[in-house]
Structure 1
Amino acid sequence: MATKPRIAKGTRDFNSQQIAQREYIFSTIKSNFKAFGFAPIETPSFELSETLLGKYGDEGDRLIFKILNSGDKVKKADLKALEEGQLARFSNSLSEKALRYDLTVPFARYVAQYQNDITFPFKRYQIQPVWRADRPQKGRFQEFYQCDADAVGSDSLWQEVEFIQLYDAVFTDLKLEGVTIKINNRKILAAIAERIGAQDKLIDFTVALDKLDKIGAEKVKEEMLLKGIPSEGIQTLEPLFNMVGNFDSQLNALKLILGSSEVGTEGISELEFISNTINSLGLKTATLKLDVTLARGLNYYTGAIFEVSAPAGVAMGSIGGGGRYDDLTSIFGLKGVSGVGISFGLDRIAMVLEELNLFPENSNQAVQVLFANFGSDESLYSYKAIQSLRSNGIIAELYPEASKLKKQITYANKRNIPFVVLVGDEEMFSKRFTVKDMKSGSQESLNFQELLACLKTNTQ
């Protein structure tokens, strides 16, 4: 019995139009990465499980796709752990490798592994797929691309300033105006946790707070209570859930809430530098906004954190995010190397551009001209012209069979090919080409140079 063709949940097939649109986003992001001085690297699609596990917190670890051991290695499974109900330990014994959850931890492993070959500060970009065993929903997939840029080896806050400028440059080039770059600082969150008596539950606190825009304040409070955060402390958080005003007024409110907290004062000082510098430099189309509830639940962030939201009116989660991590490479034995990085959510950006109709009209166009096939002699004459057109940057093809002209014209229409060239005895004798404009229906006879000029003018 034939197998029904289907794909796994959380994954997608892409047609040529969608790929063309994605390539438009890729090329825009990549050109800006290069303009800002980032160099490309690539890492394997899977890493050793020990490289990934324990770097993202309990919730992140739960979403890591593990690769089942094969052959004799399966026999090494920890059956005692299974008997004792230690499912996590049993699962880990079945798997030595896992698909990467993000690009940041593999990058930290890369830096530590090749530290003697790297010149610091090291600026890299990476555009590759990642995998997460998350529940599929709108804008959230189990396989998706991340487009990351990171800089390691410098504590300077100018790095944060540059990443905000990079976000602004990319979204401006994509014509996606009006995005909001939200910023906070994990040091401020640490001070808040200290203020409410939850300093020993910082991870639980930030993971719960990070869900504020998804589940609302009441559910966040319930989750904090379940994690053992004192109810009186949660009441102290109330002003944070509804904090409004501009950047400076929110910082002033934070100063009152945090009092003399050393770590909180440090975080506020960092945000003030970033805000003041961005105000002096300016942004093209984006807006920088302080969001004191922004937490980004990943464990490795230690300073500024970012999240980018789509323009108002577009129902979509974050389309970018990142932050500073001061100690990530130490888990691989390389201490004292600070880093900061951001990521662009390709798939969500594509959905936003589609919704707002912001893809260029020609981004979906592939073949620019189709040569109709009327037989062997005509095809040979046409193919010589096709070779010359291709060498001049024109995407051209010959219909493979000498079918009825109506069939060939229908093929061109279905593929949105803007021009069809007709070659018969008369065209070969006069060394010309009859060019049909598929949009207007008009035809004209041109020599090769005129044909080339026509195609360059009307299709590029």
Structure 2
Amino acid sequence: MPPITPKTFRGTRDFLPEVMVARSDLIDRIRGTFELYGFSPLETPAIEYMETLAGKYGDEGEKLLYKLAYKGGDVLALRYDLTIPLARVAAQNPNLPKPFKRYQIQPVWRADRPQIKQGRFREFYQCDVDIVGSDSLAADAEILAMTVETLTRLDIGPFTVRINHRELLAAIIRAAGIPDDALMTASRCLDKWDKIGAGGVRAEMENEGFDAAVIQRLLASVDEDPKESSLARMGKLESTVRKFGGSEGLEKMKEIFQLLEALGVDEKRIAFWPSLARGLDYYTGPIFETFHDDLPHMGSLTGGGRYDNLIGIFLGEQIPATGTTIGIDRILAALQQTNRLQMAPSKTQVFVAVFDEDSMRSACRLAGLVRRQGFRTEIAYGAQKLKRQFARADRQGIPVVLIQGPDEQKEKVVSVKRLESGDQVKIAEIDLVKYLKEILE
């Protein structure tokens, strides 16, 4: 039998330790911010019934579902996102506390065309945070505040969270002369603005049969001037949208900005964006996406909004909900492209060298001693030359090496070598833990 060629499916990846250490650190910081805002963890199965997922993502999203045929005729699918599974959980567990504040960090799958530079993959992780059971705009504002704080803590560089409101967007589209039965079509065209630009949106709308004058009015009304403040943008649209059912959406947008100010959110990080549409059909109120200011080609780093009708599909009654997704893989790609990612092949702090075969027991005793004090420790498994052991520790980014040869054992001391500086000192065994705390903590 010929050997099997090792390979991964296009759009999927292995994460070797150097990347995985950085990735795990990012996820830990994201999780810490979620919990700071009072959210609790949830996990759901990778496989859902097709009927659970079907019809929730629009025509474009439906094509990207990985469908699975199962014996007995059941049609299953890999989860496309974490929002629909949350809706199922909320409907399946009606006694959950309300509001139910959950976060979820798990992989999702999409039969998409991979674009590595843009951070687009077929298998990728999402970090979702949602509030189920509250229709208060304070819930939307808190999601936005938490998004800003999360990305600030990750130190991704300059970013802007763009926000809009579905009612306001509908009024803008109506004001351009587009009837209600074509609102979703126009909205989906606008949703591609960041990928294909104004010219591409114009071409898409022409292909959908919209009149050229209508297209021009719509594009002119949503074109953003980066020098304008969010309140100025809303002010320009106010008289127009009030005639076409957008008054409530406009007032809600103003209230969200007031709540964000009260929460202490940096106003430079939030912008009203009238062209923002969000392609998913289930959004009903505020919608939001985040873009890296220096990497516009990257696409959205986060995206979400209010979806008050989605959970009701499973229950037959309306349950309000709002939330967002943080794309860890795109954030990782953004950090790499801006040289902000600190890579390390290991999180180990201490390497215990073995001086000779007779010193193995002494090395094991040392390793146990420092591990019990909470230091992440690796031990050599054989008595190679010390120079080779130092080189191995250095390659793994381990800052400290401990050596206890026969002479040190007799004197009850340990030689501590700091690899970055090359300094080496002898420390009494009784003082070793104290010294390690001084240099490592």
Which aligned pairs between 1:153-168 and structure 2 lie closer than 5 A? 153-168=133-148
- Normalised TM-score (structure 1): 0.90
Of residues 226-235 and 333-342 in structure 1, the stretch that sits farther from structure 2 once superposed is 226-235
Corresponding residue to 2:302 among 320, 328, 336: 320
Deviation at 1:381, TM superposition (A): 1.1
Contact 1:112 1:334 in 2 (8 A): no
Shift of the alpha carbon at 1:205?
1.4
User: TM-score, normalization: structure 2?
Assistant: 0.93
What percent of counterpart residues are identical? 39
Question: Partner of 2:170 in structure 1?
Answer: 190
Partner residue, 2:43: 42
| Residues in 2 aligned to 1:357 and 1:393: alpha-carbon distance in whole angstroms | 31
Equivalent position of 1:29 in the other structure: 30
Matched-pair contact (CA < 8 Å) for 1:201–1:229: no
**1:318 shift after superposition:** 1.2
Aligned-residue RMSD, C-alpha: 1.9
Match of 2:104 in 1: 126
Matched, 1:275 2:257: yes
SS at match of 2:340: coil
Residues 25-57 of structure 1 show CA distances to partners (whole Å, capped at 9, x for unaligned) of 111111111111111111101100110011000
Whether the aligned pair in 2 keeps the contact of 1:373 and 1:379 (CA below 8 Å) is yes
Distance across 1 between alignment mates of 2:298 and 2:352: 43
CA offsets 1:329-370 (integer angstroms, 9 cap, x no match): 121124121110011110111122233343458x65422222
User: 1:172 corresponds to which residue?
Assistant: 152
State which of 107, 113, 117 in structure 1 corresponds to 2:92: 113
Match of 1:408 among 389, 393, 409: 389
Structure 1 equivalent of residue 425 of structure 2 = 444
C-alpha separation between the residues in 1 aligned to 2:337 and 2:267? Answer: 19
- Structure 1: which 5+ runs fail to align? 77-94
**1:162-198 Cα distance to aligned partner (Å, 9 max, x none):** 1121112212222335321100011122223333224
The answer on 1:428 being equivalent to 2:409 is yes
Q: Where do residues 54-453 of structure 1 align in structure 2 (5 Å cutoff)?
A: 54-70=55-71, 73=72, 96-115=75-94, 117-137=95-115, 138=117, 139-195=119-175, 196-244=177-225, 245-262=228-245, 264-284=246-266, 287-312=269-294, 315-359=297-341, 365-453=346-434
Is the Cα–Cα contact under 8 Å of residues 223 and 275 in structure 2 kept in the other structure? no
Residues 156 and 331 in structure 2, CA contact (< 8 A), matched pair in contact too: no
Between the two proteins, the alignment pairs up a number of residues equal to: 435
Structure 2: how far apart are the matches of 1:241 and 1:347?
A: 30
- Change beyond 3 A, Cα 1:42–1:22: same
Letter in 1 for 2:100: F
Moved more, 329-338 or 152-161: 329-338
Residue 200 to residue 18, structure 1, CA distance change in 2 (3 Å): same
Report the Cα distance in structure 2 between the residues aligned to 1:364 and 1:273, rounded to whole angstroms: 47
Measured in 1, the distance between the counterparts of 2:437 and 2:242 equals 66
Shift of 1:101: 0.4
Shifted more, 393-402 versus 372-381: the winner is 372-381
Alpha-carbon distance in 1 for matches of 2:312, 2:87: 9
The residue number in structure 2 matching 1:84 is none
Q: What is the DSSP-based 3-state SS (H/G/I as helix, E as strand, rest coil) of the residue aligned with 2:247?
A: helix
Alpha-carbon distance in structure 1 between the residues aligned to 2:430 and 2:291: 49
The residue number in structure 2 matching 1:456 is: 437
Is residue 177–residue 285 contact of structure 1 (8 Å, CA) maintained in 2? no
With over 3 angstroms needed to count, the CA separation of the structure-2 counterparts of 1:140 and 1:449, relative to structure 1, is farther
Shift of 1:241: 4.3
Q: Secondary structure at the match of 1:118?
A: coil
Unaligned runs of 5+ in 2: none
Alignment correspondent of 1:11: 12
Residues 364/164 of structure 1: CA separation in 2 closer, same or farther (3 Å cut):
farther
Q: After TM superposition, where is structure 1 displaced by more than 4 Å over at least 4 residues in a row? A: none
Q: Is the 8 A contact 1:172 1:284 kept in 2?
A: no
Please report how far the alpha carbon of residue 321 of structure 1 lies from its aligned counterpart in structure 2 after TM superposition: 1.0
Question: Is the CA contact (8 Å cut-off) linking 1:168 and 1:285 kept in structure 2?
Answer: no
Q: Which residue identity is paired with 2:174?
A: E
